[in-house]
Amino acid sequence: MDDKPVTVETLKAFLEAFNRHDLDAIMTFFAEDCVFDMPRGPEPWGRRYIGREAVREGLASRFTGLPDVHYGDDRHWVCGSHGVSEWLLTGTTQAGIRVEVRGVDLLEFENGKIVRKDSYWKLVE
């Protein structure tokens, strides 16, 4: 059993760090041996980043690709060592294309730290 319980407040604080674009704060939520699956990529699970440095690199690419990215209209819930965050991502690409997608993060925790973040988006056509 986890020493540190995961709460809805934990998930809200995690999202707030994303909205500040504060990579250092974001990374404090992750375990050393974490995994991050992006919603897009060359495999059915998207693009996978393994380990803190790789995860940081993957997250930084989000801020580079969508410099004004913001997560709003959010809802969060927790069940044991799992958390779910639902949100509306908005932003503008470097090419000036406006993005607005509904998405969800499935999060797994050990000892209060994220060991797996799996992100999904609804694609707007």
Q: What is the pLDDT of residue 1?
A: 47
- Full-model pTM: 0.90
Q: What is the pLDDT of residue 5?
A: 84
CB 92 within 8 A of CB 74: no
Instruction: Looking at the structure, give the CATH architecture of the domain made up of residues 8-121.
Output: Roll (3.10)
Taking only the tens place, the pLDDT of each residue in 14-65 is 999 999 999 999 999 999 999 999 998 889 889 999 999 999 999 999 899 9
The residue ranking higher by pLDDT, 85 or 3, is 85
Q: What is the pLDDT of residue 40?
A: 87
Report the C-alpha gap between 84 and 80 in whole angstroms. 11
Mean pLDDT score across all residues of the chain: 94
Q: How confident is the model at residue 4 (pLDDT cuts 50, 70, 90)?
A: confident
Q: Domain map of the chain by residue range?
A: 8-121
Strand order in the sheet with 98-110: 48-50, 30-37, 113-121, 98-110, 82-92, 70-79
